[in-house]
Chain A
Amino acid sequence: MPDKFVISNTPIISMPHSYSDSEIVFALKKGGKVQDDAILYIYKKNKSLLLSILRSSFRNERSKTPDDIIWETIEVFVNNVISEKFSIQENKTISAYIGKIARNLMIKYLDSEDARGIREIRFGEEAEALEDDISVALVEQESWSNYLEMFEKIGKNCKRILQMVFGLGYSIKEMAKELVDEGLYENEQVVRNAKSKCLKNILTKL
């Protein structure tokens, strides 16, 4: 594994060495800095593919850009590794798998935009059907994107409160101390009421 990687503006990133596919899987599951390094390596390793997506023809015409397709591709792959839906197989390299995700993501997106004509021009007959395992991953990706979108819309204070409770494991007392200190709420009871209201609100939306 690389000793140190710092995201830097200039001159940017150089990878100390190659990762094998199993090292990538290990690093993605481990999380933290080694996960960052592995994600970076995936970008580097698949540069040609990703650049070809960037230069694809629908880039300026739609709500979703090729840019979105790229990070979503990486996100689907990383989530699949973390949830152990992806495993190393003899005839299945990570690069090939990422290529399939990207292609399927583009097909799915173009389908959803009712742009069948464009899809056929770009991918031809070979891409008519989504591949099963990737198809499931894309459906899950879409669900999580919807959840995240709902979460983003519940209001800044609610979002923060729910992140503190469900993401960071704050107790009401700990949360109240921080939020009251900041002057966002008057006292613990008000925080408690706000949390209850936020929870009910998000439960009705999810």
Chain B
Amino acid sequence: MTEQELEILEAYVLGNLEKKKSAEVEQRLLSDEEWQSNLKKMEVLKALPEKLALRNKIKSIHQEVLKEWEQESPKKGKIISWPKIAVAGIAASVATFIYFNQSHITLPGQLTMQERGSDSNISESDRVDFQKFKDAQALLITGKNQEAAEAFAQIKNEEHLRKYYRDLARWLEVVALAEIDKPKAAQLLREIESDDDFKYKIPYFDKIRLKTRLLF
């Protein structure tokens, strides 16, 4: 298939084609095996992020539950020590959320943070920053909003960090503060909104959710 044909098929799979074009694709799919094969693969590709998110969610809950069971039965010895699951938890996916009343806020920065470098080329200072960021996110996820806000406030002032990460920390500080200090959260959110150079792209619905939260 040509590059252009792949783009058309991709648009079809993502539901971005107009009706007439879709019909043409469907006609092609009836007889062309290569198109059929790539359609199946693209459908897999479309489902993969969700599968990955579910897997990471289950692993994260799994880890917490087993940690509890371990604490419950200290006399029976250590039940678990699974480093590979420990690293697969919070930091592994774009699709991690923190919950917020009945809605959720995405935490999309962790993948990016993780991807600042592989284990082979990441510098020690990057590793420390990344760990700080993960720790702050863990505080947020576990509802320790005061500590999370303090941690993000510190991260946002780390001048050697790229602005994208500092801005992400600014946003997550607001998210944490929304639970404990709404006036301050609202003030920081206004500052973010008036910053033309704000680098982190806040998902639209997350901002709406947060604003709704600040109202009540």
Using CB atoms and an 8 Å cutoff, list the residues of chain A in contact with chain B. Answer: 6-13, 32-33, 35-36, 39-40, 43-44, 47, 51, 54-55, 65, 67, 70-71, 74-75, 78-79, 144, 147-148, 151, 156-157, 160, 162-163, 165-169, 177-178, 181-183, 196, 199-200, 202-203, 206
Contact = CB atoms under 8 A, between A and B. Distances in A.
Given A36-B57, A51-B69, A7 B118 contact: no
19 contacts: A6-B143, A11-B71, A12-B64, A12-B67, A12-B71, A33-B102, A36-B57, A54-B79, A70-B62, A78-B58, A160-B111, A160-B112, A166-B14, A181-B201, A182-B199, A183-B162, A196-B3, A199-B6, A206-B44
B23 interface: no
Interface of B: 3, 6-7, 10, 13-14, 38, 41-42, 44-46, 48-52, 54-55, 57-62, 64-69, 71, 79-80, 82, 85, 94-95, 97, 99, 102, 104, 111-112, 115, 118, 141-143, 162, 164, 199, 201
A177 B199 CA distance: 10
Contacts of B97: 32
B116 to A, nearest CB: 9
Nearest to B57: A36
Contacts, number: 136
Given A6-B142, A7-B60, A78-B54, A162 B45 contact: yes
